[in-house]
Amino acid sequence: MCPEVESKQALRARYRALRRGLSAEWRAVADNRLCTAVLDYVQSLGIRHVHVFLPISRLQEVHTFPLVADLLAAGCQVYTSRMKGEEVHTVQVDDLEALERDAWGIPVPPERSGPVSEELIELVVVPLLAYNARGFRVGYGKGVYDRLLRRCRSGVYAVGLSYFPEPEIFEEEAHDVALTALCAVNSSGDQVIWHHF
């Protein structure tokens, strides 16, 4: 019997509910493990230019602020996204204390931080709700990170972060861009599981 293919819409609803069911204490442990693992990965590759999503707290996303702080302390150039209408701009992050919340509740650098070229980026830390065995992800349905990854240099690393280690089955779409790797945690949240695609 073939496994059932689930729609992206159904996966979004299911994984949002699963995230809401995780305790703050569990997420804090998992966030620490995920951020430490990604920092180690970045350093093992000798990468200096890293784009990191900043978490939308109401969506219980992985809290990436410790990763950003550690990358900055290690001398890396750190970038994130800022939405302007339907367009996504890459901006530099210099100071976590200076971040503001945009209309969607996403922490972003102040407006004075102008856009930078995605060609600089060597690795992108990507948010997701679910993923499949081929490294394609289910995000929030706007295609923001798919568009960003297509603008980056050839060979850019795309690393997803997930609280859930098991891949799902869903239909990929033509605009989807696959991850290079996925960093997840086990059900206890205290051990990291890597998937490379």
Binding residues for substrate: 54, 61
Cβ proximity of 90 and 122 under 8 Å: no
Q: Which residues are annotated as a binding site for ATP?
A: 8-12, 137-145
Instruction: List residues forming the annotated binding site.
Output: 8-12, 54, 61, 137-145
C-alpha distances in Å from residue 53, one per residue of 10, 170, 193: 23, 24, 20
Task: Tell me the C-alpha distance between 35 and 169, whole Å.
Answer: 26
CA distance 31 to 163: 9
Cα separation values, 43 from 37, 68, 173, Å = 10, 13, 32
Q: Which parts of 24-131 are beta strand (E)?
A: 49-52, 77-84, 87-93, 100-101, 107-108, 123-126, 130-131
CA separation for the pair 184, 159 (Å, rounded):
10
Output the six-digit token pair for 21: 């069911």
Give the chain's radius of gyration (CA, Å): 16
